[in-house]
Amino acid sequence: MSRRILVVEDDRYIRDAIRELLEDEGHTVICAENGAQGLAELERMRLSPDIILLDLMMPVKDGFQFRTEQRADARFAQIPVVVMSADPRLDSHRSVLDARAYLRKPVDIDQLLAATA
């Protein structure tokens, strides 16, 4: 099933690799390089994404700030989020982030595809 996926990731190489992988799987992918751009993309999208892939450590607006603002907006609060991070404290952030899934970087391709299914 084709899905609309918003990828919020500051590393251009990771962002491009994820976009290519997901597009090869038949998904529509919109990318943002930080949380501020991610929120702006949500505002611009005619149809909300089915899922958001979210990095935590980014400039301008990090994943924590993005998630706080996303959940505060009734239009976007119910969009499931998959957090991707190399942060060794990722497990301790689970209650704050309340995400659908948590993927450690480097992200395993099979886990990524399963999380976006």
Coil vs helix vs strand at 29: strand
Name the percent of the chain lying above pLDDT 70: 100
* Domain that includes residue 68, residue range: 4-116
Tell me the helix, strand and coil percentages in the chain, rounded to 5. Answer: 40, 20, 40
The CATH number assigned to the domain holding 58 equals 3.40.50.2300
Which tokens in the block code for residue 14? 């990771």
Distance from C-alpha of 65 to C-alpha of 19, rounded to nearest angstrom: 23
* Mean pLDDT value of segment 1-15: 96
* Mean pLDDT value of segment 14-37: 98
Q: What is the CA radius of gyration of the chain?
A: 13
**Segment 92-102, tens digit of pLDDT:** 888 889 999 99
**Segment 32-49, tens digit of pLDDT:** 999 999 999 999 999 999
The one-letter amino acid code at 23 reads: E
Count: domains in the chain? 1
